[in-house]
Amino acid sequence: MENKVNTTGRRKEAIAKILLSLGKGNIFVNGKRLDEYFPQANLQAKVIAPLEVTDNLKRYDVKIRVLGGGISGQAGAVALGIARALVDADAKFRATLKKKGLLSRDPRMVERKKYGRRKARKTPQYSKR
């Protein structure tokens, strides 16, 4: 393995830049500990899922710079970035991560607002008379 691995993960409008290096399992997001940045347990679980699936939770230190989007999109972007970094670090993790669906980018994006509508699909209320 190389000493450090840089990757990028994206989801919705969020972009996460990941720096993976050998260490003791410390995870920092924008300079804060993981539990400070993502206080909800389900988001923390989503972020560390690639490390847990490959049994590397205590083996790597992860530094994350995330920007844009909301907290859920950021968690998804971080998870994808970590999964890609693990594959770059060691190719044998690819099969495990792919089987769990952690290497595929979620293509769903917010639909744009249309002219004459309140949102993308919501129309003004119909009035018969």
pLDDT in tens, the chain (129 residues): 567 999 999 999 999 999 999 999 999 999 999 999 999 999 999 999 999 999 999 999 999 999 999 999 999 999 999 999 999 998 999 999 999 999 999 999 999 999 999 999 999 999 998
Distance CA 37, CA 50 (A): 18
What per-residue confidence (pLDDT) applies to 129? Answer: 87
Range 4-97: architecture per CATH: 2-Layer Sandwich (3.30)
Q: Which residue has the tokens 């595929």?
A: 104
Distance CA 47, CA 42 (A): 9
In the chain, where the domains are located: 4-97
What per-residue confidence (pLDDT) applies to 75? Answer: 95
Map residue 64 onto helix, strand or coil: strand
Distance CA 129, CA 81 (A): 55
